[in-house]
Amino acid sequence: MKLKAKTGDLILAAVSVIVGIVILVLVKVQDLPMIKRSMMGPGFFPTICGIAIIFFGALLFVETFAASKKAKTDETVKAEQETKILNPRELKNLLCFLLLGVFVLMVSKYLGMLICLCLSVIVYLIFQGKEKWWKAIIVGIAMTGILYLIFVVFLKVPIPKGPLGF
Amino acid sequence: MKKLIALLLTALMVLSMAACGSEPAKTTPAATDAPKTTEAQGQTQAQSEAQTTEAAGWVPTKDVEFVIPFGAGGGNDIMVRKMVEIIEKYKLCPVNVVPVNKKGGSGVVGYTYLKDYKAGYEYALASTSASFFTQPITGNSPFNPDTSDFSFVAHLVKDPSVICCSKKWDFKNLDDIVKYAKEHPGELKWGGVGNASDDAILMYTLNTLAGIDLTYVPYDDQGLLTAAVLGGHIDLCSSSLAESIEHMKNGTMSTIAAIADNRLADFPDLPTAVEQGYKLDHQQNRGIVMNPGVKDEVLAYYSGLFQKVTETEDWKVFVKENAMADAFMGYQEWTAYAADVKADYTTYLAMVPKD
Amino acid sequence: MNLFQNLGLGFSILADPMVIVYSLVGVVSGVIIGALPGLGPSVGIAVLLPLCYGLSPACALCMLCGIYYGAMYGGSITAILINTPGDSAAIMTTLDGYPLARKGKAGKALGMACLASVIGGTISVVLFMTLAPVISNFATSFGPSEYFALMILGLTSVAGMTGKSPAKGFLAAFLGLFVAGIGIDLVFGTPKFVFGNVNLYSGIDFVPVAMGLFGIAEIICNFEDNNIQVDKDSLKLKKLLPNKEEWKRTIPHIGRGTILGFIVGMLPGAGATIASFLSYDMAKRTSKNKEEFGQGAVEGVAAPECANNAASMGAMVPMLTLGVPGSGATAIMMGALMMLGISPGPSFFIKNAEVAWGLVASMYLGNVLLVLLGLGALRMFVKILNVKTTTMNALIFAFILIGAYALENSMFTVGVTLFFGILGYFLKKLKVPAAPMVLALVLGAITETNLRQALIIDNNNFFKVLTHPISAVILVIAILLAFGTPIKNLFAKLKKNKAKAE
């Protein structure tokens, strides 16, 4: 997890160029011409976007290298380039939210959305270890109650319901 | 922790305040939202229902979902919610009918949601509009608008429309337009919503019938289209009465021809396109469908339910206010008619240039 | 009939205490809904519309108007306190509001947002009242080519948001523009980048994208218990109100932002979100404290907030006088009016004078209630900041997911939010600004549609599209804004070099 800002920028530049190319390939594959029946075709804007993304990706390479050159003499630029941008606790947090999000996405249909949200809040709080488990459960259930009042009773949103009827 | 509880409590308080404040409105009988009726209410409703329904073979025993494949506030949404309101007001159904908006993909998202239930599922209905037919024909929907993918419950109304013209022209009828368009091919612009919609069909049909070349300009929203016609950026459009009757009556848009089976009650002096010698009578059909393979007795039940709805005074007022044309058909008739409509759309859409 | 007589007629409907009660109900529920992530005025009005059945037209109108403003202000509460815009019009408020909150000035930021909203709202009610019957034609003078020019003007403000690395800012903008292009092509009906997924047919809405990029990304990064300390003292009414110096700084921006917002709001389809973007950009360009923007400038909160409220009022003009709704919220309000048996249109102010002026009166009432509620309940809102960060994160997470679901009643939008949340986290780490992406996403689809419509209307003559009088003027302004600073710098440099050479 020792990704430096500079490396990050280079990766971003590379990814942008790839994304741009993928867009251009998709435009070709999905048969989206820039001009169709002498009118502006469906592929016009996407093609421009693809080219622009490649261009600015390349520009980012240039910017980063220019900054590296400057970094040799300028301490602040150097410090900026050497900062670590990722930290393990954040990534753990990211993974946690990602898994819980996917859980809500997939399981709501069977268990009901409110129950899934309640469970994910409790799991998250226990996982983070900042609250005692019983507090986590109270918070989770209280929040579910509020969500139920706002979204089901008040706003009448037809959320996916589980076997228990909510 | 104390603070957290305080926060939750305050939030609850605000909410309950809001909820109490709105209480009087909720108790009015006209509320068309889908209230979670308490069990007691549900039972009394069911009892009164049992006495009034004539011996039907099948009666729903749990809440029925009514899928609206469009967003809130649109024509389809308003129509379905009105029907639900009438069903509740006259206690026509022993269970709740709950409208559910599932918008996106010109209705396809809604029908996908409906088809997530198994074939023959008895508790989900969906409303149809033009895109029910046009999307599959243009290859943008996997569902065929026929009995292989749907059961047809009832046909409700047709939407007559009016061909309108910007004030910057003094066209009086279709002949004037055709005459000008013949002399100036490609100059007149016809605005419409969507690219293979009823609006486009009308224009391309007129092009074919009269041998002229009007240019179609697609919009994604009726409001913006109306504004463009008012501002003279677009020359012609077709519009349903509900959308721009004020402009037609005030003369901020000139009316050219009615697209309807008969002359419109609001404009008795406006001849229909057919009267003017052009066979333009394509109208949007609004009906109700279910999943395929639903038993006839179930279809008969719902068909009868909606027949009762369309017979109420409330419905007649609603149809008149929204300038629709009442055209109720039961499930058998609608099934046969849908096949005709599908065939018509296939013919019409062949006129819309594809590539 | 003169103005005051009309106003008198309007205010006479306020004599009924029930009208005030319903107005209050509207404002309170509007603020709550607006504060919920993702849910804005249009959702608020749509879901609460059924409550209006059976009310008198006056009560119903006052309640709906209350929801409308309440939601407009409510969106800024979460934007300021937890960096999650409550609705799309509050996206720009996060840029300076959240930094202010982190500096311990949450009360000040909320107070500013509330006052700016109310001032913007009140000025535009006056504009509305005096101008509505006259200027409705202005809205229709904008055709596709003029809209195209306006959207280009909006896109130039990307240049002002790029921060240190222009490449990163423009990368984000073009990515947004690409996402805007997903869906069924309007002109040809060709599916673009949908891969057979029906949910993508009508494109990706920017609200879940914004919720992900701002909200989810924020809770991923923010887990330390570095609770923002809010001084109890700072929540006293006197401290909430801007001091003399702050007034001096913000008043010109509020004035300009309001007028800009009102005009943009009046154009059908442009709406409050774009108004807030443009207003923020204008404030940043014209401010003497440019460098403070993004770090917590009060102007940065005031400008978008007054503009979005002014725009919501402006949107009423074409809706009432032409029957052309300019935004989702006004479209639903128009439905509500028709339900009450009032059809908006050219003769609205003549035929329905009582309702029309009653509406004006209810707008004043709504604004007054908003001040009372906004400043009175501030302490309660700020309490949110005392909740432990992890607990808060979990709650925001749940609210965002269910809010995303409620947007279209679909799990798909929840997925979109989650996807852009993860993407937003990495972009944030790489210091790629998220605002240009959302801006391009909002403006991109409108730009493309209008350019293509304009081309069809002008027989595919691009030059003709650019030379419509109004569009030409707007485009020149856009070019000056986009390249003005570099050109100025260039001249300055040349001068310097010349001086050196001499």
| CB spacing of B19 vs A153 below 8 angstroms | yes
Considering only CA atoms, give the Rg of chain B: 23
| CB spacing of A147 vs C402 below 8 angstroms | yes
A11 and A78 housed in the same domain: yes
Distance of CA B173 to the CA centre of its chain: 28
B315 and B168 housed in the same domain: no
| CB spacing of B19 vs A154 below 8 angstroms | yes
Distance CA C345, CA C292 (A): 45
Number of separate domains in chain B: 2
pLDDT at C225: 53
| CB spacing of A156 vs B33 below 8 angstroms | yes
Helices assigned H by DSSP within chain B: 2-21, 23-27, 39-52, 75-89, 108-115, 130-137, 174-183, 198-210, 222-230, 241-250, 296-311, 313-321, 331-349
Distance CA A50, CA A17 (A): 9
Let me know if residue B173 belongs to a domain. Answer: yes
B148 and B292 housed in the same domain: yes
Distance CA C424, CA C179 (A): 14
For B326, phi and psi rounded to 5 degrees? -60, 130
- Nearest 5°: the CA angle C283, C284, C289 is 105
Q: For residue A113, give the nearest of C402, C432, C460 by CB distance.
A: C402
pLDDT band at A5 (very low <50, low <70, confident <90, very high): confident
B137 and B89 housed in the same domain: yes
**To the nearest 5 percent, what fractions of chain B are helix, strand and coil?**
45, 15, 40
Domain ends where: B225, B259, B293? B259
Tell me the chain B residues in contact with residue A153 when contact means C-beta distances shorter than 8 Å.
19, 36
Q: Which residue has the tokens 């948001």?
A: C161
Residues 170-229, chain B, touching C (beta carbon < 8 A) = 186, 189, 194-196, 215-221, 223-224, 226-228
Let me know if residue B145 belongs to a domain. Answer: yes
Count the neighbouring beta carbons within 10 Å of the beta carbon of residue C95. Answer: 26
Helical axes B313-321 vs B296-311, angle rounded to 10°? 70
Host domain of residue A149: 88-154
- Given a contact cutoff of 8 angstroms between Cβ atoms, the answer to whether B225 and B238 are in contact is no
A109 and A51 housed in the same domain: no
pLDDT at B31: 37
Min Cα–Cα distance to chain A from C178, Å: 6
Range in A141-150, B262-271, C384-393 with the lowest mean pLDDT: C384-393
Domain ends where: A55, A82, A109? A82
Chain C, nearest residue to B103 by Cα: C408
- Among B77, B72, B240, B229, CA closest to B165: B229
Tell me the chain C residues in contact with residue A42 when contact means C-beta distances shorter than 8 Å.
185, 187-188, 190, 192
Number of separate domains in chain A: 2
- Among C73, C85, C120, C64, CA closest to C210: C85
- Among C456, C475, C363, CA closest to C65: C363
Joined together, the tokens standing for residue C441 give 């996403």
Let me know if residue B54 belongs to a domain. Answer: yes
A71 and A112 housed in the same domain: no
pLDDT at B27: 33
Min Cα–Cα distance to chain B from A40, Å: 13
Distances (CA, A) of C166 to A56, A62, C366, C399: 9, 12, 42, 34
Q: Which residue has the tokens 């609460």?
A: C48
pLDDT band at A99 (very low <50, low <70, confident <90, very high): very high
CATH of the domain at B194: 3.40.190.10
Tell me the chain C residues in contact with residue B29 when contact means C-beta distances shorter than 8 Å.
54
Domain ends where: A82, A99, A118? A82
Let me know if residue A12 belongs to a domain. Answer: yes
| CB spacing of B8 vs A149 below 8 angstroms | no
Host domain of residue B218: 161-259
Let me know if residue B270 belongs to a domain. Answer: no
Distance CA C57, CA A56 (A): 55
Distance CA C198, CA C410 (A): 12
Min Cα–Cα distance to chain C from B247, Å: 7
pLDDT higher than threshold 80 for residue B11 = no
Tell me the chain C residues in contact with residue A86 when contact means C-beta distances shorter than 8 Å.
429
Let me know if residue B35 belongs to a domain. Answer: no
pLDDT higher than threshold 90 for residue A17 = yes
- Given a contact cutoff of 8 angstroms between Cβ atoms, the answer to whether B241 and B248 are in contact is yes
Domain ends where: A58, A82, A106? A82
| CB spacing of C410 vs B109 below 8 angstroms | yes
| CB spacing of A63 vs C165 below 8 angstroms | yes
| CB spacing of B250 vs C408 below 8 angstroms | no
Torsion of the alpha carbons at B260, B261, B262 and B263, rounded to the nearest 10? 10
Could you read off the pLDDT tens digit of each residue along chain C, which spans 502 residues?
Answer: 466 777 777 777 777 788 888 888 888 888 888 887 767 787 777 767 666 766 777 788 888 888 888 888 888 888 888 887 877 788 888 888 888 888 878 888 888 888 888 888 888 888 887 777 676 667 778 888 888 888 888 777 776 666 677 788 889 989 999 998 898 888 888 888 988 787 888 788 877 888 888 888 888 877 665 555 556 666 666 667 777 888 888 888 899 999 999 988 887 666 788 888 888 888 888 888 778 888 888 888 999 999 988 988 888 887 787 777 766 777 777 777 776 767 777 667 777 777 778 888 888 888 888 888 877 777 777 777 677 778 878 888 888 898 888 877 888 999 999 999 999 999 988 888 887 888 788 788 888 888 999 998 888 888 888 888 888 988 888 888 777 666 666 777 777 777 766 6
B165 and B154 housed in the same domain: no
pLDDT at A166: 65
A54 and A115 housed in the same domain: no
Which run of H or of E encompasses C478? helix C469-501
* ipTM of this complex prediction, to 2 decimal places: 0.93
B104: left (phi over 0), alpha (psi -120 to 50) or beta: left
Tell me the chain B residues in contact with residue A149 when contact means C-beta distances shorter than 8 Å.
12, 15, 19
Give the model confidence (pLDDT) of B142-165 as tens digits.
888 888 899 999 999 988 889 999
Distances (CA, A) of B9 to A148, B2, B15, C78, C276: 15, 11, 10, 18, 33
Let me know if residue B174 belongs to a domain. Answer: yes
Asked if B242 is an interface residue toward chain A (Cβ–Cβ < 8 A), one would say no
- The three-class DSSP label of residue C480 is helix
| CB spacing of B1 vs A135 below 8 angstroms | yes
Distance CA C294, CA C154 (A): 19
B226 and B142 housed in the same domain: no
Let me know if residue A129 belongs to a domain. Answer: yes
- Nearest 5°: the CA angle C138, C445, A61 is 125
Let me know if residue A138 belongs to a domain. Answer: yes
Distance CA C251, CA C284 (A): 14
The residues, any chain, with a CB within 8 Å of residue B116's CB and separated by 6 or more, are: none
| CB spacing of C46 vs B4 below 8 angstroms | no
For B217, phi and psi rounded to 5 degrees? -115, 110
Name B192's bridge partners.
Answer: B218
User: HEC states along C329-362?
Assistant: HHHHHHHHHHHCCCCCCCCHHHHCHHHHHHHHHH
- Among A64, A49, A87, CA closest to A14: A64
Distance CA C83, CA B321 (A): 46
Min Cα–Cα distance to chain A from C39, Å: 11
For B104, phi and psi rounded to 5 degrees? 125, 145
| Residue of C158, C416, C429 best to disrupt the A interface, most CBs of A under 10 A | C429
Write down which chains contact chain B via at least 3 CB pairs under 8 A.
A, C
Tell me the chain B residues in contact with residue A139 when contact means C-beta distances shorter than 8 Å.
4
Distance CA C147, CA B168 (A): 21
B166 and B197 housed in the same domain: yes
A100 and A60 housed in the same domain: no
DSSP per-residue letters across C241-253: S--HHHHHHHHHH
Distances (CA, A) of A131 to A119, A121, A144, C383, C417: 15, 12, 18, 19, 27
Average pLDDT for B117-141: 87
- Nearest 5°: the CA angle B344, B349, B350 is 100
CATH of the domain at B102: 3.40.190.150
Asked if B100 is an interface residue toward chain A (Cβ–Cβ < 8 A), one would say yes
| CB spacing of B72 vs C46 below 8 angstroms | yes
- Provide the mean pLDDT of chain B: 80
Asked if B109 is an interface residue toward chain A (Cβ–Cβ < 8 A), one would say no
A70 and A10 housed in the same domain: yes
Tell me the chain B residues in contact with residue C326 when contact means C-beta distances shorter than 8 Å.
223
Number of separate domains in chain C: 1
Min Cα–Cα distance to chain A from C170, Å: 7
Count the neighbouring beta carbons within 10 Å of the beta carbon of residue A119. Answer: 17
Joined together, the tokens standing for residue B188 give 């007149």
Which run of H or of E encompasses B289? strand B284-290
Q: For residue C181, give the nearest of A46, A93, A154 by CB distance.
A: A46
Let me know if residue A148 belongs to a domain. Answer: yes
Give the model confidence (pLDDT) of B314-355 as tens digits.
899 888 878 888 889 999 999 999 999 998 888 888 887 765
Chain C, nearest residue to B193 by Cα: C186
Asked if C141 is an interface residue toward chain B (Cβ–Cβ < 8 A), one would say yes
- Given a contact cutoff of 8 angstroms between Cβ atoms, the answer to whether B302 and B288 are in contact is yes
Residues 61-120, chain A, touching C (beta carbon < 8 A) = 63, 85-86, 89-90, 93-94, 97-98, 100-102, 104-105, 108-109, 113, 117, 120
DSSP per-residue letters across C75-100: HHHHHHHHS--SSGGGHHHHHHHHHH
A108 and A127 housed in the same domain: yes
Tell me the chain B residues in contact with residue C198 when contact means C-beta distances shorter than 8 Å.
104-105, 108-109, 112, 141-142
Host domain of residue C109: 3-501
The residues, any chain, with a CB within 8 Å of residue B4's CB and separated by 6 or more, are: A139, C387, C388, C391
- Given a contact cutoff of 8 angstroms between Cβ atoms, the answer to whether B164 and B253 are in contact is yes
* Count of residues in chain A: 166
| CB spacing of A101 vs C418 below 8 angstroms | yes
B200 and B248 housed in the same domain: yes
Let me know if residue A33 belongs to a domain. Answer: yes
Joined together, the tokens standing for residue B123 give 């508790």
Q: Sheet harboring B151-159: ordered strands across? A: B97-101, B64-68, B124-127, B284-290, B151-159, B325-329
DSSP C211: I
- Given a contact cutoff of 8 angstroms between Cβ atoms, the answer to whether B220 and B106 are in contact is no
Tell me the chain B residues in contact with residue A156 when contact means C-beta distances shorter than 8 Å.
33-34
pLDDT higher than threshold 90 for residue B58 = no
DSSP per-residue letters across C96-114: HHHHHIIIIIHHHHHHHHH
Give me the total of CB pairs closer than 8 Å, taking one residue from chain A and one from chain C.
167
- Given a contact cutoff of 8 angstroms between Cβ atoms, the answer to whether B291 and B118 are in contact is yes
Write down which chains contact chain C via at least 3 CB pairs under 8 A.
A, B
pLDDT higher than threshold 50 for residue A37 = yes
- Among A18, A20, A10, CA closest to A64: A10
Which run of H or of E encompasses B278? none
- Given a contact cutoff of 8 angstroms between Cβ atoms, the answer to whether B78 and B68 are in contact is no
Tell me the chain C residues in contact with residue B138 when contact means C-beta distances shorter than 8 Å.
189
pLDDT band at B5 (very low <50, low <70, confident <90, very high): very low
Q: For residue C144, give the nearest of B10, B33, B233 by CB distance.
A: B233
The residues, any chain, with a CB within 8 Å of residue C89's CB and separated by 6 or more, are: C40, C72, C75, C271, C272, C273, C275, C276, C304, C308, C311
A24 and A71 housed in the same domain: yes
Chain A, nearest residue to C418 by Cα: A101
pLDDT at C237: 64
- Among B189, B250, B247, B238, CA closest to B214: B189
Give the model confidence (pLDDT) of A53-92 as tens digits.
999 999 998 988 888 888 888 777 777 777 777 778 888 8
In this structure, the strands spanning B64-68 and B124-127 are parallel
Chain C, nearest residue to B111 by Cα: C198
Which run of H or of E encompasses A47? helix A44-71
Chain C, nearest residue to A100 by Cα: C397
Distance of CA A109 to the CA centre of its chain: 23
Give the model confidence (pLDDT) of B218-237 as tens digits.
987 787 888 888 888 999 99
Average pLDDT for B267-293: 90
